[in-house]
Amino acid sequence: MMTCFPALMYYFWVCLEYHQGKLLVPSQWTIEALTDFFWHDIWAKIQVGAYPTTAAVKIYMGYVTLSFILAYIMPGPIVEGLPIPSLKGKKLKYLCNGLSSWYFTLALSAVLHVTGVFRLTSIIDNFAGIMTVAIIWGFTMSALVYLYSNLTGQNHRMSGNFFYDFFMGAPLNPRIGHVDLKMWAEIRVPWPVLFYISLSCALKQWETRGTVTPPVAFMVLAHFLYVNACQKGEECIPPSWDIFYEKDGFMLIFWNMAGVPFTYCYSSIYLMKYELLTGTAILHSMPYTVFLFALLLTGYYIFDTGNSQKNRFRMEQNGIFFTRNAFPQLPWGHLKNPSYIKTKHGNLLLTSGWWGIARKPHYTADLMMAISWGLITGFGSFLPYFYFCFFVCVLTHRVSRDMERCASKYGDDWVLYCQKVPYIFIPFIY
């Protein structure tokens, strides 16, 4: 996976950049044809188009540095995490300044763009170079975190197999000062970068045709909603599985630094490139467009309120809940007097709201949004559907790991919970 991820990212970029999103295949399946395919069709294009130029380094590392500084200095509420068993029950504190950092970044980027100091269209103009910088940074940061935690003895649950441990990670809660590197990497880099790639595509379209088409505007809205949700609900993240249990390894670091922003953006780039290459924009009928906006917004509503219901319930249970009126607060995001199962372990399992309907309602909602990102581009290329297909695999794998973990953690109580809420994704179907 550590070699295939970057290779796939370059391959998809070549298909998108030079072949209108069509998947390239060798002319024949012989060694000569494959070698020729690699050197001429892929490598030659990477060398020319994806070189990590100085501009690319400045854009990507500039943003990464800015986002880290903001995470360090911007104001926000301080939230206490769950007691961490590997730290002998110690609770860590998290400065949740994602929202103030996000608003500051939006304002700063608007000023830079309008004044011409940094045109946001430069992002898409330097896309492949920036992707290379992100890939290099993904490996570098993974190596630094791995080395540092091994040298300082902060590694946990190590298997002894170097490749597996490097992939899954060594430390649980690496920090620089008060900034939790895992939480920073998870929401401060991937989603804002993804949003800016889409915004850059929209601005490019605006510059070339004078308007922004509904599908391109759709992608900007979709990515805005996602990044905004991550920042406005940041205080819900410390008790989540990723922070509490997952280690900070290549899987999380590379995927957050490079994988998410540079593969989840195919829809936006495909829409923009299609028009540049063919001279015709991708447009759909009004009912189809309205249907997709409804699908996106419904998915978003369930995603937002589903995550919010469970996390706020858990925060109340741990005595760390506080009201936060970050925009938008949607109805049904906070359940009053919910039903639950009290486990012998001590934790409560929510059985009200979306959580009485399915065991992973927020995954279903996330997948609804993911498929809408593909459908808005039509059916001319597989690449805008890559995110949905990949995400199905990620979430299926996550569900099986999570169910296994919860079954062993909660025993009979988990069996009772599964009887009470029998469906995982969609009631009466699965």
For ligand NDP, what does the binding mask look like between residues 256 and 295, x meaning CB under 6 A? ----x-----------------------------------
HSE, side-chain direction, 13 A CA sphere, residue 161: 5
CB of 398 to ligand NDP, least distance (A): 5
**Applying CB under 6 A, which of residues 45, 188, 223, 310 lies at the interface with ligand NDP?**
310
Does residue 303 touch ligand NDP according to CB under 6 A?
Answer: yes
Looking at 5-13, 293-301, 328-336, 402-410, which segment touches ligand NDP (CB under 6 A)? 402-410
Instruction: Tell me the C-alpha distance between 257 and 67, whole Å.
Output: 12
Q: How many residues bind ligand NDP (CB under 6 A)?
A: 20
- Decide whether 61 or 392 has the Cβ nearer to ligand NDP: 392
CB of 21 to ligand NDP, least distance (A): 21
Site for ligand NDP in 347-386 (CB under 6 A): 347, 349-350, 355, 362-363, 366
- Decide whether 188 or 314 has the Cβ nearer to ligand NDP: 314
CB of 252 to ligand NDP, least distance (A): 10
Instruction: Tell me the C-alpha distance between 278 and 354, whole Å.
Output: 44
Place of tokens 């608007």: 110
Please give the torsion angle defined by the CA atoms of residues 344, 348, 354 and 358, in that order, rounded to the nearest 10 degrees.
-20
- Decide whether 171 or 361 has the Cβ nearer to ligand NDP: 361
Distance between terminal CA atoms of the chain? 29
**Applying CB under 6 A, which of residues 240, 263, 308, 309 lies at the interface with ligand NDP?**
240
Distances, alpha carbon 94 to alpha carbons 77, 181, 256, 323, 368, in Å? 8, 11, 19, 16, 31
- Decide whether 46 or 297 has the Cβ nearer to ligand NDP: 297
If we measure between CA atoms, which residue out of 366, 369, 377 comes closest to residue 216? 377
For ligand NDP, what does the binding mask look like between residues 186 and 225, x meaning CB under 6 A? ----------------------------------------
**Applying CB under 6 A, which of residues 307, 308, 372, 377 lies at the interface with ligand NDP?**
307
Looking at 66-74, 163-171, 303-311, 319-327, which segment touches ligand NDP (CB under 6 A)? 303-311
CB of 241 to ligand NDP, least distance (A): 4
Instruction: Tell me the C-alpha distance between 186 and 189, whole Å.
Output: 7
Q: What is the DSSP letter of 171?
A: B
- Decide whether 277 or 330 has the Cβ nearer to ligand NDP: 330
Does residue 397 touch ligand NDP according to CB under 6 A?
Answer: no
Q: Is 169 exposed, middle or buried (0-12, 13-18, 19+ CB in 10 A)?
A: buried
- Decide whether 223 or 284 has the Cβ nearer to ligand NDP: 223
CB of 402 to ligand NDP, least distance (A): 5
- Decide whether 296 or 350 has the Cβ nearer to ligand NDP: 350
CB of 34 to ligand NDP, least distance (A): 32
Does residue 246 touch ligand NDP according to CB under 6 A?
Answer: no
Looking at 15-23, 57-65, 235-243, 378-386, which segment touches ligand NDP (CB under 6 A)? 235-243
Does residue 402 touch ligand NDP according to CB under 6 A?
Answer: yes
Q: Is 327 exposed, middle or buried (0-12, 13-18, 19+ CB in 10 A)?
A: exposed
If we measure between CA atoms, which residue out of 237, 12, 198, 232 comes closest to residue 101? 232
Instruction: Tell me the C-alpha distance between 200 and 202, whole Å.
Output: 5
Are 247 and 200 in contact by the 8 Å Cβ rule? The answer is no
Does residue 242 touch ligand NDP according to CB under 6 A?
Answer: yes
Instruction: Tell me the C-alpha distance between 24 and 383, whole Å.
Output: 12
Exposed e or buried b for every residue in 268-305, given b needs 16+ CB within 10 A? bbbbbbbbeeeeebbebeeeebeebbebbbebbbbbbb
Distances, alpha carbon 145 to alpha carbons 38, 170, 244, in Å? 33, 8, 17
Q: Is 183 exposed, middle or buried (0-12, 13-18, 19+ CB in 10 A)?
A: buried
Place of tokens 């290549």: 250
Looking at 49-57, 150-158, 288-296, 346-354, which segment touches ligand NDP (CB under 6 A)? 346-354
Q: Which residues bind ligand NDP (CB under 6 A)?
A: 240-242, 260, 303, 307, 310, 314, 347, 349-350, 355, 362-363, 366, 394, 398, 402, 406, 409
